Amino acid sequence: MYITATDWRNLFRTRAAGSASEQGAFVSRPSFMLSKRKLFFYLLEGVFLTGVLAGTLLISHATEETLRALQTVIGGYVGQRQIQSFSNIALSTFLSLFSSLLVLFFCGLCTVAQPVVFLALLFKGLGYGFSLGMLYAQYGSAAVPYAFLLLMPTIYFGALLLIAAGKVSLKMSIHLFRSTLPNGEKTELNRMQRYCIKFILFVAICGMIALVDALLCYKLGGLFLF
């Protein structure tokens, strides 16, 4: 009994087909896991952008009396940023972001706080959209360069920070909820430590964003006279 050349070719083709199918299964699995891993990020990003859009639409449909009252508030805010010191601007921006991070941190430690995570990002986006809409309603096209140079960097990086923190908080809250179910996975000490370390890093990034915002306002704020 011997193996012919045709048998060898058939054997190689079978092995090549099996190897290709295994490789395809191996490649498709990480791509699926990657999309699943980013699902929370996309959901939180969508909620935040919805808040920004809703804030601008609320301003566009506001009454004249409401706009006049809000113009006083926003105008005072812009004027104060132009005369505030570097440290005061940095502290104001830091506290604004830090308060949101603090809410998200405690949400992650609660088993039923998942909706609050989405609401926190929704209201933060609402505030950003509200501020941008009021600036445009009060100053018109003159507010566009001001918003682009002095507000958008802080809004952009602050939004990325809060969305990343919201993702971590949401995953931790879901994990704690599952641990309360029968036969649920118990929370390990290392997992809680990693959670706290991540939020410490978020606070450090928050401080850097506040410093960048103060630097931009301190150096470029004098270019805009409202």
97, exposed or middle or buried, with CB in 10 Å at 0-12, 13-18, 19+? buried
The stretch 176-186 carries a mean pLDDT of: 75
Residue type, 137: A
The Cα–Cα gap between 200 and 180 comes to 26
188 or 29: which leads in pLDDT = 188
The stretch 78-87 carries a mean pLDDT of: 73
pLDDT of residue 149: 85
| Sequence ranges of the domains in the chain | 1-37, 39-223
Q: For the chain, give the percent of residues with pLDDT over 70.
A: 73
pLDDT of residue 79: 61
106 or 111: which leads in pLDDT = 106
Q: Is the pLDDT of residue 43 over 60?
A: yes
pLDDT of residue 151: 86
Local confidence band at 189 (pLDDT 50, 70, 90 cut-offs)? confident
The Cα–Cα gap between 41 and 115 comes to 15
Query: How far, CA to CA in Å, does 50 sit from each of 79, 166, 205?
Result: 29, 16, 24
pLDDT of residue 1: 47
Percent of residues in the chain assigned helix, strand, coil, to nearest 5? 90, 0, 10
Structure tokens at 180: 């309360």
Local confidence band at 16 (pLDDT 50, 70, 90 cut-offs)? very low
Local confidence band at 129 (pLDDT 50, 70, 90 cut-offs)? confident
Local confidence band at 190 (pLDDT 50, 70, 90 cut-offs)? confident
The stretch 163-173 carries a mean pLDDT of: 93
Q: What average pLDDT does the structure give for the chain?
A: 79
The stretch 114-126 carries a mean pLDDT of: 93
Local confidence band at 28 (pLDDT 50, 70, 90 cut-offs)? very low
pLDDT of residue 36: 56
